Amino acid sequence: MSQKLADFHDFFSQHKEPAFRSKQVCEWIWKKHARSFRAMSNIPSSLRSLLDAHFYFEPLRIEQLDASTDLTTKVVFLAQDDQRFEGVLIPAGNRVTACISSQVGCPLGCKFCATGLLGFRRNLMSHEIYDQVILLDRMAQEQLKKKLSNIVIMGMGEPLLNDEEVIKAIRKWCDPEGAAISPQRITLSTVGIPEGIRRLASAHVKIQLAVSLHSASQHKRETIIPAAKKFTLLALSEALEAYYRLTRQRIVVEYLMLKDVNDSIQDARELAAFCKRFPVKINLIEYNRVDKTGFERSSDEKMEAFAAFLKRLNMVVNIRKSRGEDIAAACGQLALRNKKT
Ligand code: SF4
């Protein structure tokens, strides 16, 4: 849907239409996912023509689907300007999660990440972010006979470099007039942009914040995440402390386990020290190999020893296995493989 449709309320009052009409139109767009005014059967035809003359739809299209043996499905979305970006539908037990993108490509170039190798094209608009969820929810209902249970903003791009549009989409997902999704079921994952974390806290959207830390040593982190030179661990830890003070929400720390890079007990000790200033849940993530990065997955023994060390310090730790690796849909693998971009 076009940005120009973002707020009908002023338009309706200017044209002396009753407020309930605006609510009806919003319901058609956000709840029933109508993509033309013609479809809005309870709206008078004169009003539909007026809306047609003033607003337009810019629907996302699904260009390609790849299904994994574990039922994970990767989707290539096509925007109106022919830019492509990816989302993933991940069923696991009773949960069905949509992993969605916030940018086309990414400017941060993390060394382990396939999206980073693509470079940056543009920010996604709020309606393009919103619509990924609506399309993936429709797919979940058709293919799995289940509704989406969770959203993770963890696909292509750094959401806190596009937080204005991302927050607009979050508000719309959570709006009772929109998709009415609980904010507790939404996770935004950032590489750690301190100012963006503070803005997110002030936005009071009450979603879960996840930080891709991957190392608690400043020097080592810079070799994995070049942007860490600018966004230092000290600034990140101060921003996370401020985030917790304002939201009282536990922070999820994502830690990709890279063989002989960040998987020693000394690395675990540094991670525990970093996490002292705010409550955390730590996810240790299996690395999904990406060509040209040179990184390898840590062994199961190393991951278990790392987790055991943290658990002895009474920290909440989970080991997260890969999903959708065979279709390059796993964490850090979204790179429009086989696509002309
Ligand atoms: S890990 Fe995230 S922030 Fe880093 S390059 Fe990939 S998409 Fe961008």
Catalytic residues: 86, 331
The Cα–Cα gap between 255 and 252 comes to 10
Compute the CA torsion angle 270, 275, 280, 283 (nearest 10 deg): -20
The CA-atom distances, in angstroms, between 171 and each of 130, 180, 326 are 10, 9, 34
- How many Cα atoms sit within 13 Å of 86 on the Cβ side? 29
| Alpha-helix runs per DSSP H in 144-252 | 163-174, 194-203, 218-224, 233-247
Ligand 1 centre distance from Cα of residue 24 (Å): 39
* pLDDT exceeds 50 at position 88: yes
Terminal Cα distance for the chain, rounded: 23
The Cα–Cα gap between 161 and 147 comes to 29
Q: Give the pLDDT score at 316.
A: 97
Ligand 1 centre distance from Cα of residue 334 (Å): 10
Does the beta carbon of 116 sit less than 6 angstroms from any atom of ligand 1?
A: yes
Ligand 1 centre distance from Cα of residue 115 (Å): 6
Atom of ligand 1 nearest to the CA of 212: 1
Q: Give the pLDDT score at 124.
A: 97
Q: Give the pLDDT score at 2.
A: 46
Band of residue 324 on the pLDDT scale cut at 50, 70, 90: low
The Cα–Cα gap between 193 and 239 comes to 9
Ligand 1 centre distance from Cα of residue 226 (Å): 10
* pLDDT exceeds 50 at position 46: yes
Ligand 1 centre distance from Cα of residue 91 (Å): 23
Q: Give the pLDDT score at 325.
A: 64
Band of residue 98 on the pLDDT scale cut at 50, 70, 90: very high
Does the beta carbon of 115 sit less than 6 angstroms from any atom of ligand 1?
A: yes
Band of residue 340 on the pLDDT scale cut at 50, 70, 90: very low
* pLDDT exceeds 60 at position 1: no
3-state secondary structure of 239: helix
Does the beta carbon of 191 sit less than 6 angstroms from any atom of ligand 1?
A: yes
Does the beta carbon of 108 sit less than 6 angstroms from any atom of ligand 1?
A: yes
- How many Cα atoms sit within 13 Å of 100 on the Cβ side? 30
* pLDDT exceeds 60 at position 241: yes
Q: Which of 86, 101, 104, 106 to mutate to test the pocket of ligand 1 (most atoms within 8 A of CB)?
A: 106
| 316-320 vs 95-100, strand pairing mode | unpaired
* pLDDT exceeds 90 at position 56: no
The CA-atom distances, in angstroms, between 172 and each of 55, 134, 180, 193, 200 are 18, 11, 8, 23, 15
Chain-centre distance of CA 237, in angstroms?
Answer: 21
Structure tokens at 148: 């989406």
Does the beta carbon of 91 sit less than 6 angstroms from any atom of ligand 1?
A: no
Higher pLDDT, 26 or 243: 243
Does the beta carbon of 153 sit less than 6 angstroms from any atom of ligand 1?
A: no
Per the CB < 8 A criterion, the answer to whether 242 and 198 are in contact is: yes
Ligand 1 centre distance from Cα of residue 105 (Å): 9
Structure tokens at 145: 């006979």
Q: What is the mean pLDDT of residues 266-294?
A: 92
Give me the chain's average pLDDT, please.
Answer: 90
The Cα–Cα gap between 57 and 51 comes to 11
pLDDT digits (tens, 9 = 90+) for 299-319: 999 999 999 999 999 999 999
Which domains are seen in the chain, by residue range?
3-54 (1.10.150.530), 61-327 (3.20.20.70)
- 14-28, 84-98, 256-270: range with lowest mean pLDDT: 14-28
Band of residue 35 on the pLDDT scale cut at 50, 70, 90: confident
Phi, psi (rounded to 5 degrees) for 63 = -95, -35
> What single letter denotes the amino acid at residue 300?
D
Phi, psi (rounded to 5 degrees) for 46 = -65, -40
Does the beta carbon of 290 sit less than 6 angstroms from any atom of ligand 1?
A: no
Most confident listed range (55-64, 158-167, 179-188, 328-337):
158-167
pLDDT digits (tens, 9 = 90+) for 129-167: 999 998 999 899 999 999 999 999 999 999 999 999 999
Q: Which of 88, 102, 108 to mutate to test the pocket of ligand 1 (most atoms within 8 A of CB)?
A: 108
Task: Name residues whose C-beta falls within 8 Å of residue 252's C-beta, 6 or more positions apart in sequence.
Answer: 187, 208, 209, 210, 211, 280, 281, 282, 283
